[in-house]
A and B are shown apart, each in its own frame.
Chain A
């Protein structure tokens, strides 16, 4: 079963704009991770945020985590056409197996 739900399911923006994706989950977690997937194949790890962290940055990525609301957001700043992909949040509850959300499909128009 899917633990997380991403919002929105699909997002279309212009190059240079910021893209924000949200993720909600149901149970307590050790960490939350964001992955990117192109063309329905292999996933690429983007960033991991631990349960005791509130915000993390990596390049043009900014992730926030609110454990009281069981939610996270991924912000991609100054988006590029190459950012077009599906983005998934995944939670690690300590079982080590990741539980993924259903994903946000991002389309960046050049």
Chain B
């Protein structure tokens, strides 16, 4: 079946601009996660949705970052007033949220954001 998809695959923007990154999770997966990965590092957690609500947004670095999942499926990560330090690969993952101790997250290919 179809995996997690993310659009766009690459996004180049100028400092100060607003960007939206989209994630389509695997159909039927109730949990959705956003991570950010800088060059040479492992992914860092940003936010986790269970259904439509953000169950944990403790990883969002500041109030320029915001994410929504209005219908419990597609999610959009929004970044206002982008800064060069926001440049990274933004990864989305989803999981079916069955048993908590065996829940596997399935990752999308990521969006590479470059802020000039």
Which A residues form the contact surface with B (CB < 8 A)? 1-2, 4, 30-31, 33, 35, 40-45, 48, 50-51, 88, 90, 92, 94-103
Contact = CB atoms under 8 A, between A and B. Distances in A.
Interface in B93-116: 93, 100-110
Nearest to B111: A41
A101 B44 CA distance: 9
Contacts of A92: 101, 103
Contacts of B104: 33, 45, 48
Contact of B42 (A33, A88, A94): A88
A50 B102 CA distance: 7
Contacts of A30: 100-101
Interface of B: 4, 31, 33, 35, 37, 39-45, 48, 55-56, 59, 89, 91, 93, 100-110
With most chain B CB atoms within 10 A of its CB, the pick from A51, A96, A101 is A96
Given A100-B43, A100-B44, A42 B109 contact: yes
Contacts of A45: 104-107
For the complex of A and B, the 4 pairs showing the least CB-CB separation, nearest first, are A100-B42, A97-B45, A42-B109, A43-B107
B48 A97 contact: yes
Give the residue among B37, B56, B106 with the most A Cβ atoms within 10 A.
B37
B42 A101 contact: yes
Contacts of A97: 33, 45, 48, 56, 59
Nearest to A4: B42
Among A35, A42, A45, A51, max chain B CB count under 10 A is at A42
Nearest to B89: A40
A43 B91 contact: yes
